[in-house]
A and B are shown apart, each in its own frame.
Chain A
Amino acid sequence: MLHFSNFKITGIVLLLLLGLLFALPNFMREETRLSLPGIFPSGTLNLGLDLQGGSHLLLSVDTDAVQRERLEDLTSDIRLALRGERIGYSGLSRVAGGVSVTVRDSEDMEKAASVLQGLAQPVTSSVLTSFEQRADLSIENTEGQTFVLLVTEDAIAARNTRTVQQSIEIIRRRVDELGTTEPTIQRQGEKRILVQVPGLDDPERLKALLGQTAKMNFHLVDQTVSGYDVVNGKRPPAGSRLVYTDTEPQVPYVIRRRAMVSGERLVDASVGFDPQTNAPEVNFRFDALGGRKFGEVTQANVGRPFAIVLDEKIISAPIIQTAILGGSGRITGNFSVEEANDLAILLRAGALPAPMSILEERTVGPGLGADSVAAGRIALIIGFVAVIGFMIVSYSLFGLFANVALIANLVLIMAVLSGLQATLTLPGIAGIVLTVGMAVDANVLIFERVREELASGKNPIIAIDMGYSRALGTILDANVTTLLAAIILFQLGSGPIRGFAITLAIGIVTSVFTAFVLTRLLVSLWLRRQGKPEALPI
C-alpha cells in the first residue's frame, strides 16, 4: 500500500497541477483571465441566480389553446372542402378531440370520404423518421353517414412541440431586447419553459414582456351599429364582433372579424415621438405584401376608423386620414416612453403562438446575492480553519497530511466546477462547507485504524499499511451511500438544490482521491525520509 512508483507519483502530481490550472482563473482579475492564451482554461465558477441576483421564471404554454384553434380551422376546412365539391352535409360540430359531420345524400358518401381524406396531411415531426410518415387526421365513418375526423396523437405532439419551440424563440427575442447578459431559456417537460435571467433590475418588466401574447391585428370598425348598442344586447352583424379598448373606462367597438392586415406582416417597430405633441408613439413597418394590402384597404376606406387590436384589446382606433401607401404607420395612444418601448419590443419579437402563464418565479436582488456570497465565503473560511486546527490537535503530523489533502480537495472541487461550467449556488457553498467537514472522514477512518493497529502492537509501517488497506472498503461503502443521496437530490432538485447536490457529489469523489491517495503518498514520502520510525506522530 505504501509503495508508489515514480510513474504513479508523477500522475498524482500532474492531476493536482491540472486541478490547480482549472481552479486558478477564479482568482484572477477579469483582464488577466481574458488575456490568457487559448490553451489555458479560463472558465470560472458560474454564480447561480441566488448569488448574483436575477430572475427565474417557469412558464407554461397553453397548448390546449393551439389545439382548440386547430379544431376551429379543421371545421372551416371541412366546410370549404365539402362545399367546393357540392356535397350536402349537416351536423358539422366539434366532438372531443375532433370534428364530426353527417353527409346528407348517401350517394355522396364515397366522394365525401375521398374529399375528407384529402384534408389529412402527413405529420412533420423531428421525432418520427421519414419511413413512418403518419397522417395528422384519422377519418372514420362511425355510423350511418356520419364521419368523425380526429386529430391524431402524433399530430398533437408534433404541434405542441412546434408551439413550445416557437414560444422559446419569441421569448428569446423579447428577453434579448432587455439587453441582459446570458439569459437561459430552455424547454422543460412537455409544455414548460424555464427562463433564467441573471442580474436584472426590474423583474416586473420582464414578466410584463413575457406575459403578453402580443398578437396584433388591424381591423376595420363596423359603423353600422354602435358598440354601446351591442353591449346592451343587440346582436352584432354577421362577420363582426365586439371588442373593448384598453383604456379606463373601456369603450366598446364593433369591428370586422376579418383582419384587414395581420400583425404577422410587421417587419419592424420602433419608438418615436409625435412631432407636434412630443408624445411617445410606436412606428411600424409592414413587409411588401402587408404594405400593399394596407395601402389598398386604407385607400378604399378614407374617413372611416380602423382599430389596432393587441391581444383582444383595442389600443388605438384612429380615423384613416389618407391612404397609407408607404407600408409604414404609427400608433399613437396614451403611452409612456417605457410602454411605447415595450410595445415596440413585443411587435418586433412577434406574437407568441399560444398564451402563457407563469407557474413559478424566484427573484433575488443583487444586494442579497452579494451578501450571500460574502456570508458563504466567511463561513467557508472559518469552518475550514476550525476543521484544520482540530485535525492538527487530534492527529499532529498526520493531521497536517490530512489538511494538505483537504486543501487539495477544495482546489479540485473548484477545478471540476469551473471545468464543467457548473453553477455555484448558496446551497452549493453549503455543500462545500459540509464537504470540508465530511472529507476528513476518510482520513479519520484511516488514522483511527492505524492507531488501533499500533495499539495491538504492530510495527509502525505495517500499522500504516494495514490502516489504509483495511479502511478502504469502509471508505468506499460509506461514500457510495452519500453519493446515492446526492444523485437523488440532483434528480429532485431545481436550481439551488441542484447546486448543492453537484458540489456534494463532486466533493465526495474528490475527497476519496485526496484523502486516500494523496495522504498515502505524503505518508509514504515522509516514511522514506524517516527510515524506520519507532513511533508515529499520530
Chain B
Amino acid sequence: MKTLKIVPVNTSIGFIRHRTVAMALSALLVVGSIVAFLANGLNFGIDFRGGTLIEASSESAVDLAELRDRLGALDLGEVQIQEFGKETDVLIRIAEKEGATDASNNLSAVERVRAELSSDFDVRRVEIVGPQVSAELIQTGVMAVLAAIASMLIYIWFRFEWQFSVGAVLALVHDVALTIGLFALLQLDFNLSILAAILTIVGYSMNDTVVVYDRVRENLRKYKKMDLAELLNIAINETLSRTVMTSVTTMLALLALYVLGGEVIRGFTFAMIWGVIVGTYSSIFIASPLLMMLGVKRDWSGTQVD
C-alpha cells in the first residue's frame, strides 16, 4: 500500500542557512507584538477586569440597536452588546462600577437585565466577577505562565545542557509573545480560557522543541567532528516529517473543535490553532538556530549513547 508522505523522505532543506531571515522575521513579529500590546492593550474579559457577562438567546434575529436602547434605559453604566455566534444570540457585558469592593453592584444589574429580557430572551449564561477575584486571577495567571516557563527551563536544563534550556525557553517566550500580540492586535476577548490556551501552547511548543533537541543531542554524540550548522540542519530535517505530522493531526482535532465545538470555546480553540502554527514554526526556525548562536558543548564523550 502506498502511504501519504506530506514531507518527502530525506529532505535537506537549509533551515540553518536561512536562520538570519527567520530570526529577523521573528524579531520583527515579537517587536510588533510588543507594540500592539503597548498600543492597544489586551481586551480583557470580565475574568480579569471584573464585571458581568450575560449570554442571551432569542427566538428571532436580535436587533442590536433596539436592545442597546432598552438596556441603556436601565442605567447600568458601560454596557457592550455584541452578536454571539448566531444572529439570535447576544453577549452583553456590563463593566464593573468604579469603587466597587464586591459583586453586589453587578448582582443587582443582572437582576434588572434578567427582568428586562425575560419577555423575549432566554438567559443562557451569567458570569459575574468581583474586583477582588479578578485581581487575583490576573495575579495567579501571570504566576502560572511564569511558573510554566520556569519549570520547562529547569527540566530541559536537567535533561540537556543550559544552552538547550535557554534556546527552548526563548522559543517559548517567542510563542507566548506572538499569541498575546495577536490578541492585542485583533482585540479579541482575553479571558481565563485564553490563558489556559497559552499554557497549553507552552506545553505543546516545548514538546515540539524537545523532539528536535533530542535528535540534536543524539547527532552530537554520533557526529563528533561535523560542523554544528550542518549537524543542526540534519537534526531538523530528520525530525521534520514527525513535526509536520503531529502538527497536522493536532490541527485536524483543533479545526473540528473550532468549527463544531460551539461558540463558548471558540476563543480557546482559536488561540490554540495559532499557538500550534507558531509553536511548530519556532521549534524549526528559532529553537535550533538559537543553539547555533549560544554555542553548544561538542564533547559528549562522557555521556552514554542510548
Binding site for B on A (CB under 8 A): 50, 58, 60, 203-204, 207, 211, 357-365, 367-368, 371-372, 375-376, 378-380, 382-384, 386-387, 390-391, 393-397, 399, 426-427, 429-430, 433-434, 436-438, 440-441, 444-445, 448, 451-452, 455, 470, 473-474, 477-486, 488-489, 491-494, 496-497, 500-501, 504, 537-538
Contacts and interface: CB of A to CB of B under 8 A. Distances in A.
B103 A358 contact: yes
Interface in B29-47: none
A482 B172 CA distance: 13
B163 to A, nearest CB: 16
Interface stretch (B61-69, B257-265, B287-295): B257-265
Contact of B126 (A203, A372, A379, A437): A203
Nearest to B103: A358
A444 B125 contact: no
B119 interface: no
Given A383-B253, A394-B5, A372 B262 contact: yes
Contact of B260 (A382, A444, A493, A537): A382
Given A358-B103, A364-B124, A504-B200, 10 more contacts: A211-B107, A360-B129, A365-B125, A383-B255, A430-B269, A455-B10, A473-B214, A481-B210, A482-B206, A493-B192
Nearest to B196: A497
A379 B176 CA distance: 26
Contact of A427 (B252, B259, B260, B265): B265
B124 A367 contact: yes
- Listed residue (B124, B151, B196) with the most chain A CB atoms within 10 angstroms of its CB: B196
A430 B260 contact: no
A478 B210 contact: yes
B52 to A, nearest CB: 9
Contacts of B239: 448
Given A359-B103, A430-B269, A485 B262 contact: no
A380 B239 CA distance: 28
A265 B284 CA distance: 74
Nearest to A538: B3
Q: How large is the interface on B (under 10, 10 to 19, 20 to 34, 35 or more residues)?
A: 35 or more
Contacts of A482: 203-204, 206-207
29 contacts: A357-B104, A357-B130, A358-B102, A358-B103, A358-B128, A361-B103, A361-B128, A368-B125, A372-B262, A376-B262, A379-B256, A379-B259, A383-B252, A390-B248, A430-B261, A430-B269, A433-B261, A437-B249, A438-B207, A440-B249, A448-B241, A451-B241, A473-B306, A478-B214, A481-B210, A485-B200, A486-B203, A492-B140, A492-B199
B83 interface: no
A81 to B, nearest CB: 37
Given A488-B148, A492-B144, A479 B207 contact: yes
Contacts, number: 240
A433 B256 contact: yes
A426 B148 CA distance: 23
B148 A359 contact: no
A485 B245 contact: no
A365 B122 contact: yes
Contact of B200 (A357, A395, A434): A434
A361 B108 CA distance: 12
Nearest to B115: A204
| Smallest CB-CB A-B distances: 4 pairs | A485-B203, A437-B253, A383-B256, A375-B262
